[in-house]
């Protein structure tokens, strides 16, 4: 009898253990998968017009869809939200727009019109999560995804002149010329100092972009890195190839060189009283690190203008051959120069020259019209300051990469404009 009771008790214990295990598994199965962290592919961040939205519970990624806490998102959008726990219904209202979503349902509604969702709303850590692309689009925000940083980027559409309003990111554009050992000033930089500059920028979190990246940002709102910077060189000196190129390549950084196109030849050519320039062959070798753009065809000189001042050749009508140019002659000369430079870059490099650097930073309203007429999309000055998408694209600022600055001083100089 004792043994029967003992066996019976053991069987009862086993039965109860199995029952409790089954109950636990059932509970876990019935709970949203997010409760044990297995449903989501990872966490994400959200930025609205360049500013991070700080959530109590991090947005999550599921099947390449980003789900965000609805209350904080609605607050950031300036809309109201109501969640009915009994019906599991989420309703938002604002700016004449109404939406309706249901937990677990892949059909949502905007102003009573059904919209299919890639992922349904869910509950996670007592927070109601909804698909961000749906709610952003419903309220007129432009949505894009920065996969590298796992960040959703939202831009408001209040500016009617643009498809959507950018965050007006402030972008530094650095201007260099020639690298010469032992010289550090506003024009010349020692190669070791240049490397110090580049390493300091990289350590400060800056990522180099190209002029094509900048143009796409202006025209299409294409994403830029968190801290973008455009490195530029003027004129096309051989040191850009022998000194700057290896440094930038080693650091996986990029730059743009504005060339005086008439001074670039297929093979090495020395011009009297001028610093040597690199060749087209060397320019092509630098592709992927250096982008070639225009500094005019052959207008990198200052000549007396008809007003008696020494001006850059593309800024004003000049005194040429002992007589003043007419406005018509001036426009013809400048336009031909700009087009010729553009065409040779296309021929030699295989891509378009979308930008120009004004020689000596000298330009006028007439210059801008001619640059635009020649097919350029942007132009750079020598005026200190940062660049934003609000700026006139033909009057973009640049900060001098002065060799007198240490790397840390250069970073501080850039950030003083913020």
Distance CA 99, CA 105 (A): 14
Q: Is residue 18 part of a domain?
A: no
All residues at 6 or more sequence positions from 298 whose CB lies less than 8 Å from its CB, including other chains: 260, 261, 262, 263, 337
200 and 120, same domain (yes or no): no
Q: What is the DSSP letter of 242?
A: I
pLDDT of residue 393: 96
Residue 25 lies in a domain: no
CATH number of 236's domain: 3.20.20.370
Asked whether residue 279 is assigned to any structural domain, the reply reads yes
CA-angle at 333, arms to 351 and 327, nearest 5° = 135
d(CA 123, CA 119): 13
Q: Does some domain include residue 33?
A: no
Question: Distance between CA atoms of 245 and 282, rounded to whole angstroms?
Answer: 10
Q: Give Dmax over CA atoms of the chain in angstroms.
A: 131
317: number of Cβ within 10 Å: 20
Residues 389 and 321 in one domain: yes
Domain membership flag for residue 230? yes
pLDDT of residue 304: 86
Strands 65-69 and 45-48: unpaired
> Domain check: are 145 and 190 in the same one?
no
3-state secondary structure of 40: coil
Give CA separation, 336 vs 80, 342, 343, in Å.
58, 10, 10
Q: Are residues 134 and 252 in the same domain?
A: no
Task: Scan for tokens 């990111």, then name that residue.
Answer: 169
Cα 348 from Cα 109, distance rounded (Å): 54
**In-domain check, residue 163:** no
Q: In 260-359, where does DSSP find H-type helix?
A: 280-285, 327-349
Please report the pLDDT score of residue 417 as a whole number: 87
CATH number where 128 lies? 3.30.457.10
Do 232 and 269 lie in one domain? The reply is yes
Calpha distance 313→363 (Å, rounded): 9
Tell me which of 155, 183, 216 is where a domain ends: 155
Asked if residue 233 and residue 302 are part of one domain, the reply reads yes
Task: Return per-residue pLDDT of the chain as tens, 418 residues.
Answer: 444 445 455 555 545 554 555 444 443 444 334 433 436 778 899 998 878 899 988 999 988 899 999 999 988 888 889 999 999 999 998 877 889 999 999 999 999 889 999 999 999 888 999 999 999 999 888 888 888 788 888 887 544 333 333 346 899 999 999 999 999 999 999 999 999 999 999 999 999 999 999 999 999 888 899 999 999 999 999 999 999 999 999 999 999 999 999 999 999 999 999 999 999 999 999 999 999 999 999 999 988 888 888 889 999 999 988 899 999 999 999 999 999 999 999 999 999 999 999 999 999 999 999 999 999 999 999 999 999 988 999 999 999 999 999 999 999 999 998 7
- Token digits of residue 205: 């979190």
Assess contact for 233 and 269: CB atoms under 8 A: no
Block residue for tokens 């294409």: 222
Shared domain check, 389 and 251: yes
**Judgement on whether residues 224 and 88 belong to the same structural domain of the protein:** no
What's the CA angle centered on 392, arms 307 and 50, to 5 degrees?
155
Q: Which of 252, 250, 254, 216 lies closest to 232, judged by CA?
A: 254
DSSP state of 35: G
Q: Answer with the one of 120, 155, 190 that is the final residue of a domain.
A: 155
Instruction: Report pLDDT for 48.
Output: 87
Q: Does any domain span residue 29? A: no
The whole-number pLDDT of residue 161 equals: 38
Total domains present in the chain = 2
Together in a domain, 348 and 386: yes
Distances (CA, A) of 111 to 91, 101, 140: 11, 12, 14
Q: What is the pLDDT of residue 144?
A: 83
Task: Judge if 224 and 281 occupy the same domain.
Answer: yes
Domain span holding position 98: 42-155
202 shares a domain with 313: yes
212 and 134 in a single domain? The answer is no
Query: Does any domain span residue 1?
Result: no
At 35 the pLDDT is 37
CA atoms of 162 and 164, how far apart (whole Å): 5
Last-in-domain residue among 97, 121, 155: 155
């Amino acid at each position: 009898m004792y043994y029967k009771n003992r066996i019976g008790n053991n069987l009862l214990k086993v039965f109860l253990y199995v029952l409790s295990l089954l109950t636990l598994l059932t509970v876990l199965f019935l709970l949203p998968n997010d409760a044990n962290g297995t449903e989501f592919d990872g966490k994400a961040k959200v930025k609205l017009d360049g500013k991070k939205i700080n959530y109590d519970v991090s947005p999550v990624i599921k099947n390449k869809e980003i789900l965000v806490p609805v209350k904080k998102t609605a607050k950031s959008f300036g809309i109201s939200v109501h969640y009915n726990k009994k019906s599991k219904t989420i309703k938002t209202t604002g700016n004449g727009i109404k939406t309706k979503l249901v937990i677990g349902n892949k059909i949502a509604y905007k102003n009573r019109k059904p919209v299919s969702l890639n992922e349904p709303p869910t509950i996670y850590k007592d927070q109601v999560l909804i698909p961000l692309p749906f709610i952003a689009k419903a309220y007129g925000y432009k949505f894009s995804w920065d996969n590298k940083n796992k960040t959703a980027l939202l831009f408001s559409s209040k500016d009617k002149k643009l498809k959507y309003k950018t965050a007006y990111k402030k972008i530094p554009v650095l201007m260099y010329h020639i690298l010469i050992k032992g010289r550090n000033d506003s024009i010349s930089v020692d190669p070791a100092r240049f490397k110090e500059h580049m390493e300091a920028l990289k350590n400060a979190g800056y990522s180099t972009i190209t002029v094509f990246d900048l143009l796409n940002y202006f025209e299409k709102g294409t994403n830029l890195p968190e801290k973008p910077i455009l490195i530029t060189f003027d004129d096309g000196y051989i040191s850009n190839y022998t000194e700057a190129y290896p440094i930038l390549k080693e650091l996986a950084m990029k730059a743009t060189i504005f060339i005086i196109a008439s001074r670039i030849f297929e093979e090495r050519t020395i011009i009297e009283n001028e610093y040597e320039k690199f060749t087209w062959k060397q320019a092509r070798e630098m592709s992927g690190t250096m982008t070639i753009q225009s500094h005019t065809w052959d207008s990198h000189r200052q000549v007396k203008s008809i007003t008696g001042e020494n001006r850059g050749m593309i800024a004003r009508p000049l005194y040429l051959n002992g007589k003043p140019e007419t406005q018509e002659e001036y426009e013809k000369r400048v336009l031909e120069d700009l087009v010729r430079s553009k065409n040779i870059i296309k021929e030699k490099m295989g891509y378009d020259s979308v930008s120009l650097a004004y020689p000596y930073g000298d330009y006028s309203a007439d210059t801008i019209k001619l640059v635009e007429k020649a097919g350029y999309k942007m132009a750079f000055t020598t005026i200190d300051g940062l660049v934003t998408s609000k700026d006139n694209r033909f009057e973009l600022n640049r900060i001098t990469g002065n060799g007198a600055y240490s790397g840390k001083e250069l970073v501080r100089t850039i950030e003083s404009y913020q």
